[in-house]
Chain A
Amino acid sequence: MTAELLLQLLVSGLGMGFIFALIAIGLALIYGVMNVVNFAHGEFLMISMYASVFAFTLGGLDPVVTLPFVAVAMFGFGVAVYYLLMKRVLGGAMHSQIFATFGLMVFLQAAAQFTFGADYYSINHSWLGGTVRIGGVTLPMPQIVAAVGAILCTACLYLLVFRTRVGRSLRAVSQDRVAALTMGIDADRMNALAWGLAAACIGVAGSLLSNFYYVFPRVGAVFVLVAYVTVALGGFGSIGGALAAGVAIGVLQVFSGFFMTSTLKFVPVFALYLLIVLFRPTGLLGKQ
Chain B
Amino acid sequence: MSAPSVNKGLTFAGSPIKLRNIVLFFAGVGILYLIPQFLDGKPFELRLLTVIFLYAVMGQSWNILGGYAGQISIGHAMFFGLGAYTSTIAFLNFGVNPWIGGLLAVAVSALAGVLIGIPCFRLRSHYFVIATLVVAESIFLIFSEWSFVGAAIGLELPIRPSGWENFQFHRNKIPYYYIALTMLVVVTIFVIWMERSKIGFVLKGIRDDEDAVRSLGFSPLRYKLIAMAFSAGILGFCGTFYAQYVLLIEPPTVLFASISVIVALIPIFGGIGTVAGPIIGSVILLTISEYSRVHFSGSGRNVDLLIYGALIMVFAAYCPGGVMSMISSLRARFRKGAV
Residue ranges of A at the interface with B (Cβ–Cβ < 8 Å): 37, 39, 85, 88-89, 92-100, 102-111, 113-114, 117-118, 221, 225, 228-229, 232, 261, 263-264, 266-267, 270-271, 273-274, 277-278, 281
> With A95-B272, A264-B141 given, is the CB distance from A107 to B306 under 8 Å?
yes
Chain B residues packing against A (C-beta within 8 Å)? 66, 70, 72, 74, 119-120, 122-127, 129-131, 133-135, 137-138, 141-142, 144-145, 257, 261, 268, 272, 300-303, 305-306, 308-318, 320
What residues of A have a CB within 8 angstroms of the CB of B300 in the complex? 113, 117-118
A106 to B309, CA, bound (A): 5
Contact check, A114 vs B301: say whether CB atoms are below 8 A apart: yes
Q: Determine if B313 and A95 form an interchain contact, defined as CB atoms under 8 angstroms apart.
A: no
State the Cβ distance, A23 to closest chain B Cβ, in Å. Answer: 15
Which residues of chain A come closer than 8 Å to B129, judged between CB atoms? Answer: 37, 39, 98
Residue in B66, B131, B145, B257 whose CB lies within 8 Å of A273: B131
The 6 closest A-B pairs by CB, nearest first: A107-B309, A103-B312, A106-B309, A103-B313, A110-B305, A110-B306
Residues of A within 8 Å of B124, CB to CB, are 281
B186 to chain A, nearest CB (A): 27
Query: Residue on A with the closest CB to B122?
Result: A278
Which residues of the partner chain B approach A114 to less than 8 Å between Cβ atoms? 301-303, 306
Looking at chain A's contact residues, is the secondary structure mostly helix, strand, loop, or mixed?
helix
Inter-chain contact A106/B308, CB cutoff 8 Å: yes
A103 to B127 alpha-carbon distance, docked (Å):
18
Do B130 and A273 have beta carbons less than 8 Å apart? Answer: yes
The answer to whether B145 and A263 have CB atoms under 8 Å apart is yes
Q: Which residue of B lies closest to A265 (CB)?
A: B141
Q: Is the CB of B320 within 8 A of A95?
A: yes
* Closest residue on chain B to residue A267 by CB atoms: B138
Please determine whether A270 and B138 come into contact, CB atoms closer than 8 angstroms. Answer: yes
| Chain B residues whose C-beta falls within 8 Å of the C-beta of A267 in the assembled complex | 138, 141-142
Cβ of A107 to closest chain B Cβ, rounded Å: 3
How close is B137's CB to chain A, nearest CB, in angstroms? 6
Q: Give the CA-CA distance A264 to B300 in the complex, in Å.
A: 26
- Give complex CA distance A85, B74 in Å: 20
A273 CB contacts on chain B under 8 angstroms:
130-131, 134
Q: Which residue of B lies closest to A93 (CB)?
A: B320
A75 to B308: give the CA distance in the assembly, Å: 26
**Contact present for B320 and A96 (CB under 8 Å):** yes
Report Cα–Cα, A103/B262, bound state, in Å: 11
**Complex contacts, A96 vs chain B, CB 8 Å:** 316-317, 320
Contact B306 A277 (CB under 8 A): no
Q: How far is the CB of B225 from chain A (nearest CB, A)?
A: 16
Q: How far is the CA of A96 from the CA of B103 in the complex (A)?
A: 35
- Alpha-carbon distance between A118 and B261 when the two chains are bound, in angstroms: 19
Nearest opposing residue in chain A for B152, CB measure: A263
Q: How far is the CB of B125 from chain A (nearest CB, A)?
A: 5
Partner of A104, one of B272, B302, B305, B313: B313
B145 touches A106 (CB 8 A): no
Closest residue of chain B to A222, judged by CB? B137
Contact present for A277 and B131 (CB under 8 Å): yes
With a cutoff of 8 Å between Cβ atoms, the chain B residues found around residue A106 in the complex are 261, 305, 308-309, 312
The distance in angstroms between the C-alpha atoms of A278 and B120, with both chains bound, is: 7
Q: Considering the chains assembled together, what is the distance between the CA atoms of A104 and B306 in angstroms?
A: 10
Q: Which of A88, A98, A108, A118 has the most CB of B within 10 A?
A: A98
CA gap between A98 and B73 in the complex, in Å: 11
Q: How far in angstroms is the closest Cβ of chain A from B124?
A: 8
Q: Across the interface, which residues of A come within 8 angstroms of B320, CB to CB? A: 89, 92-93, 95-96
Closest partner residue, chain B, to A226 (CB atom): B134
Give chain A residues whose Cβ lies under 8 Å from the Cβ of B133.
225, 228
Could you say which residues of chain A place their CB within 8 Å of the CB of B135? 270, 274
**Known contacts A102-B74, A107-B306: A281-B127 contact under CB 8 Å:** yes
Residues of A within 8 A of B309 (CB): 103-111
A and B contact pairs by CB, cutoff 8 A, 12 listed: A37-B130, A94-B70, A98-B129, A99-B313, A100-B313, A107-B308, A225-B134, A228-B133, A232-B130, A261-B145, A263-B144, A267-B141
Query: Quick check: A107 and B138 within 8 Å, CB to CB?
Result: no
B312 contacts A278, C-beta separation under 8 Å: no
- Asked if A109 and B305 make an inter-chain contact with CB atoms under 8 angstroms apart, the answer reads yes
User: A39 CA to B130 CA in the complex, in Å?
Assistant: 9
Smallest Cβ-Cβ distance to A103: which chain B residue: B312
In the complex, the chain B residue whose C-beta lies closest to that of A111 is B306
